[in-house]
């Protein structure tokens, strides 16, 4: 990386509390200035003025086993053959990530210097599943989908973040990191083969992709094979071998001689074959460039995400282009992107174990016999390796490997995970800033142990020298206030747009979001947008006795096809008394808003930007709005909040009035030994003689392990409440829970109709 259990029902006020407000609420313990000072005194800062190169790598012995006990002095690092001084070293594992260096952008008001901070990386793995749907055969894509479904359900562990991307971009909405298995399963189910073929089995000549590549590169055997096919189908006799007798044939006459201008049938057939080959090569080059461009942009978008990241490419392979320079893609661009972003590519040949019969596989049209025995078989066999060249180069040059000749793709995925069990992070500072536009090679060796091999990225592309800004009378002229305001707004809008589009949450200003479905009387199905803003990251300005700040906030809701279903923007002006600073810094701000949505599956994204510093924060969450008109038993989303004290609950049960519950929280993080309160509503329950017969059970899972299950509890109406909205509230004690990720599941059964409904929500214990 280059840096520059159940306690009964809540009283009626709880239902009232779900009538949500659109407001910023300051919640409540330490001073921001004190926190900033503590942060500055604890963070090891390194001031640099030249570029820093940071790489991660794995080391294996001659049997391919990872080496786990190396120290800084064991490594030798070279750039362009010259040994470099290693300025940062760290070792990491899948469960205990290594420390990295991170560039921190200083606020605009501060001195413009580059600051690099040693950063602890969160647990869990970042894995991008890149499905090359431009180059996957239909049968191989079906196998890949089954493989990925199994991977999601069996090999994912707590903390893993997965993003599914396609080279065609047709997954769209789902191309963001998530640990939600339901979301990932939806993304996988949407994968489909992209129809990109402009040729058909009736074309003459029937030139395969690889044969077209060979013809474009001047291969005479490939050209001869296509030309002979054309001549045979036109009933033109091929020319005799040297010293042989010519044969008759039409329309070219003996030896295939054309009566038109002396151009032979052979020459016309070769030109026709070349033209067809150029068309196929151009098509291949277009889709190859599209594939590599998507990989390049995806990898570069991960640059701000600290830590080791894996990209797993599932593909049948592709060709890297013919003889034309316009069809050439510089693979070093992706190597450079991977170096700058800390990404390792692992390629999996989705064709599995290939046993190619002579003349091609069953999907290849049969050919007319030619006078070139074995030529077609040689071309088909050569195609196998040629299609692997591209995906092999991507993996090899970024520190990964290519998985081939296995029909169990899950074994390939497991090899990828195993390869990241132990790794090392090295950083060095080149002796001079690289701005020569050249590719600089990186090599890592293990001192005095030649039997060990280090796998890392092969290098990076230095930027080209910066051109001095052009001077013109217009540019020198002072801009009008209106022009300055327009440019500032355009910059702000672009930054917020980038936050909404980011594959991962931006954390300069940490923000968390939850989106919850509830049906509100008089308004119908709604999504509750619930966000929490970390106030300790804000740079509040003191004005007299007030602390002020301005935040631009945008919320966008997308449907499953990636189309905008709702969006709104707000400018939040904070004016806070200095006396509440400690409370605000500790508890942060809550932002809530509910919007009406039609039934469907949605993602809500939120992005905010602090006016004074241009710092960004972003987050995303998913929600399913069910169709209540189907009259099936349905549960609302599970609304979570920190557990109240026991005395408050006792008072609530006794008076039915004195307990005002907290609204649901976007922060799904709770303290060990604490309590979690939850609320859910059941809709479309059958009510007979004024009473429903619905029971509900809550369960808590850690991964796939059940660690808590409540007895069945009966859901009951609250006096004067809407019979169509049946509430249930309960508490889960976190006594004995270890720190980690958990899943709360609720199952409701209407015993009158035998209908069932299910909901789940994820939370963590700190």
CA dihedral sign of residues 536, 542, 545, 546: negative
Statement: residue 260 has pLDDT above 90: no
Tell me what pLDDT residue 652 has.
Answer: 37
Return the SS3 of 691. Answer: strand
Retrieve residue 312's tokens: 């797993």
CATH C-level class of 5-32+492-765: mainly beta
Q: Which tens digit of pLDDT belongs to each residue from 146-172? A: 999 999 988 888 778 999 999 987 766
State residue 377 phi and psi, 5-degree precision.
-65, -40
Retrieve residue 549's tokens: 């700040």
User: Per-residue DSSP letters for 451-486?
Assistant: T-EEE-B-EEEPPPPPPPPP--HHHHSPPPHHHHHH
Statement: residue 603 has pLDDT above 70: yes
Residue with tokens 């214990």: 765
Quick one: average pLDDT of 489-499?
92
Res. 324 pLDDT band, cuts 50 70 90: low
Q: Say what percent of the chain tops pLDDT 70.
A: 76
What's the CA gap between 726 and 506, in Å, rounded? 38
What's the CA gap between 90 and 278, in Å, rounded? 50
Statement: residue 397 has pLDDT above 90: yes
The reply to whether 5-32+492-765 and 51-123+422-461 are identical in fold is yes
Return the SS3 of 511. Answer: strand
Tell me which of 648 and 403 has the higher pLDDT: 403
Q: 126-197+283-418 maps to which CATH number?
A: 3.40.50.410
Asked if the peptide bond before residue 312 counts as cis, ω within 30 degrees of 0, the response is no
State residue 410 phi and psi, 5-degree precision.
-65, -30
- For 614-641, letters b (16+ CB in 10 Å) and e give ebbbbbbbbbbbbeeeeeebbbbbbbbb
19-33, 103-117, 257-271, 686-700: segment of lowest average pLDDT? 19-33
- Which among 603, 567, 505 is positioned nearest to 172, based on CA atoms? 603
Contacts of 580 (CB under 8 A, 6+ apart): 26
Tell me what pLDDT residue 512 has.
Answer: 94
Q: Are strands 725-733 and 675-683 parallel, antiparallel or unpaired?
A: antiparallel
What's the CA gap between 583 and 28, in Å, rounded? 4
Q: Which tens digit of pLDDT belongs to each residue from 326-383? A: 556 788 999 999 999 999 999 999 998 775 544 444 444 444 445 666 788 888 888 8
What's the CA gap between 53 and 299, in Å, rounded? 17
Question: Dmax over Cα atoms in the chain, in whole Å?
Answer: 113
The CATH topology of domain 51-123+422-461 is: Immunoglobulin-like (2.60.40)
| Cβ–Cβ < 8 Å for 575, 527 | no
What's the CA gap between 44 and 64, in Å, rounded? 36
What's the CA gap between 330 and 346, in Å, rounded? 19
Tell me what pLDDT residue 14 has.
Answer: 34
Domain boundaries, given as residue ranges, for the chain: 5-32+492-765, 51-123+422-461, 126-197+283-418, 209-277
Tell me what pLDDT residue 445 has.
Answer: 96
What's the CA gap between 312 and 395, in Å, rounded? 9
| Cβ–Cβ < 8 Å for 742, 762 | yes
575-589, 638-652, 721-735, 744-758: segment of lowest average pLDDT? 638-652
Retrieve residue 505's tokens: 């949450």
| Cβ–Cβ < 8 Å for 637, 518 | yes
What's the CA gap between 592 and 196, in Å, rounded? 45
> What does R_g of the chain's alpha carbons equal in angstroms?
32
Statement: residue 8 has pLDDT above 60: no
What's the CA gap between 753 and 684, in Å, rounded? 11
- Which among 737, 572, 732 is positioned nearest to 638, based on CA atoms? 732
Angle between the 209-216 and 265-300 helix axes, to the nearest 10 degrees? 110
- Which among 644, 605, 599 is positioned nearest to 622, based on CA atoms? 605
| Cβ–Cβ < 8 Å for 573, 548 | yes
Tell me what pLDDT residue 435 has.
Answer: 76
Quick one: average pLDDT of 479-485?
83
Statement: residue 89 has pLDDT above 90: yes
Residue with tokens 């707590």: 158
Count Cα atoms within 13 angstroms, Cβ side, for 172: 13
Statement: residue 230 has pLDDT above 60: yes
Retrieve residue 655's tokens: 């008076």
- For 110-147, letters b (16+ CB in 10 Å) and e give eeeebbbbebebebbbbbbbbbbbbbbeeebbebbbeb
Res. 251 pLDDT band, cuts 50 70 90: very low
Count how many residues are written for the chain: 766
Helix (H) / strand (E) containing 34: helix 32-42
Q: Which tens digit of pLDDT belongs to each residue from 281-306? A: 888 888 999 999 999 999 999 988 88
| Cβ–Cβ < 8 Å for 233, 368 | yes
Q: Are strands 45-48 and 114-119 parallel, antiparallel or unpaired?
A: antiparallel
| pLDDT, the chain, mean | 81
Res. 254 pLDDT band, cuts 50 70 90: very low
| CB count in 10 Å sphere of residue 716 | 15
What's the CA gap between 605 and 177, in Å, rounded? 13
Retrieve residue 164's tokens: 């599914």
CA geometry: angle 626, 627, 632, nearest 5 deg:
95
Helix (H) / strand (E) containing 35: helix 32-42
Return the SS3 of 760. Answer: strand
CA geometry: angle 134, 500, 601, nearest 5 deg:
70
Tell me which of 238 and 179 has the higher pLDDT: 179
Residue with tokens 């080059």: 285
């Amino acid at each position: 990386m280059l840096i520059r259990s159940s306690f009964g029902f809540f009283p009626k006020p709880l239902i009232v509390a779900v009538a949500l407000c659109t407001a910023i609420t300051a919640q409540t313990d330490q001073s921001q200035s004190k926190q900033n000072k503590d942060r500055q005194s604890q963070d090891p800062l390194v001031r640099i003025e030249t570029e820093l190169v940071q790489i991660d790598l794995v080391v294996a012995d001659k049997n391919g086993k990872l080496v786990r006990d190396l120290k800084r002095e064991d490594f030798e690092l070279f750039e362009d053959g010259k040994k470099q001084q290693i300025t940062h070293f760290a070792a990491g594992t899948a469960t205990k990530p290594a420390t990295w260096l991170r560039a921190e952008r200083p606020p605009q008001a501060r001195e413009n210097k580059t600051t690099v901070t040693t950063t602890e990386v969160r647990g869990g793995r970042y894995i991008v599943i890149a499905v090359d749907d431009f180059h996957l055969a239909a049968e191989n894509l079906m196998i890949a989908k089954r493989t990925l479904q199994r991977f999601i359900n069996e090999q994912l562990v707590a903390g893993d973040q997965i993003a599914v991307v396609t080279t065609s971009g047709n997954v769209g909405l789902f191309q963001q990191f998530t640990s939600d298995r339901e979301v990932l399963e939806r993304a996988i189910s949407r994968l489909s083969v992209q129809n990109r073929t402009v040729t058909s089995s009736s074309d003459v000549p029937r030139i395969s992709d690889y044969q077209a590549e060979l013809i474009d590169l001047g291969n005479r055997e490939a050209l001869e094979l296509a030309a002979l096919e054309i001549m045979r189908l036109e009933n033109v006799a091929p020319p005799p071998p040297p010293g042989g007798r010519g044969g008759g044939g039409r329309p070219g006459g003996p030896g295939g001689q054309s009566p038109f201008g002396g151009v032979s049938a052979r020459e016309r057939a070769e030109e026709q074959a070349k033209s067809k080959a150029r068309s196929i090569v151009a098509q291949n080059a277009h889709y190859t460039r599209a594939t590599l461009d998507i990989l390049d942009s995806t990898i570069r978008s991960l640059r701000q995400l600290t830590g080791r990241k894996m990209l797993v490419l599932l593909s049948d392979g592709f060709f890297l282009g013919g003889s034309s320079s316009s069809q050439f893609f510089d693979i070093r661009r992706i190597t450079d992107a991977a170096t700058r972003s800390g990404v390792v590519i692992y390629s999996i040949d989705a064709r599995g174990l290939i046993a190619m019969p002579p003349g091609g596989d069953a999907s290849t049209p049969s050919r007319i016999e030619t006078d070139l025995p074995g030529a077609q078989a040689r071309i088909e066999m050569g195609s196998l390796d040629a299609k692997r060249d591209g995906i092999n180069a991507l993996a090899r040059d970024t520190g990964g490997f290519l998985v081939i000749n296995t029909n169990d793709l899950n074994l390939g995925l497991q090899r990828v995970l195993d390869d990241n069990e132990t790794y090392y992070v090295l950083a060095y500072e080149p002796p001079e800033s690289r701005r020569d536009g050249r590719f600089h090679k990186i090599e890592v060796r293990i001192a005095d142990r030649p039997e060990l091999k280090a796998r890392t990225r092969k290098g990076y592309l230095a930027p080209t020298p910066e051109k001095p800004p052009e001077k013109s009378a217009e540019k020198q002229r002072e801009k009008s206030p209106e022009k300055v305001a327009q440019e500032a707004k355009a910059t702000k809008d672009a930054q917020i747009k980038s936050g909404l589009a980011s594959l991962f949450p931006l954390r300069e200003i940490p923000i968390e979001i939850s989106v919850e479905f509830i049906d509100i009387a008089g308004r119908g199905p709604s999504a509750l947008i619930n966000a929490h803003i970390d106030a300790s990251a804000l740079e509040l300005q003191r004005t007299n006795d007030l602390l002020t700040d301005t935040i631009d906030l945008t919320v966008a809701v997308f449907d499953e096809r990636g189309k905008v279903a709702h969006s709104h923007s707000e400018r939040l002006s904070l004016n806070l008394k200095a006396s509440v600073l400690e409370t605000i810094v500790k508890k942060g701000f809550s932002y809530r808003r509910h919007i009406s949505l039609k039934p469907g599956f949605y993602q809500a994204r939120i992005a905010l930007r602090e006016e004074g510093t241009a710092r960004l924060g972003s987050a995303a969450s998913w929600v399913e709005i069910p169709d209540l008109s189907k009259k099936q038993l349905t549960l609302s989303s599970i609304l979570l909040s920190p557990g109240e004290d026991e005395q408050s609950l006792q008072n609530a049960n006794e008076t039915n009035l004195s307990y005002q519950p907290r609204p649901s929280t976007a922060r799904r993080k709770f303290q060990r030994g604490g309590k979690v309160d939850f609320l859910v509503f059941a809709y479309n329950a059958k009510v007979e003689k004024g009473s429903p017969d619905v029971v509900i059970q809550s369960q808590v899972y850690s991964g796939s392990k059940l660690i808590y299950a409540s007895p069945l509890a009966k859901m009951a109406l609250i006096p004067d409440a809407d019979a169509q909205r049946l509430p249930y509230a309960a508490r889960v004690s976190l006594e004995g829970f270890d720190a980690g990720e958990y899943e709360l599941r609720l199952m409701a059964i209407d015993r009158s109709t035998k209908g069932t409904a299910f909901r789940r929500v994820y939370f963590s214990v700190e």
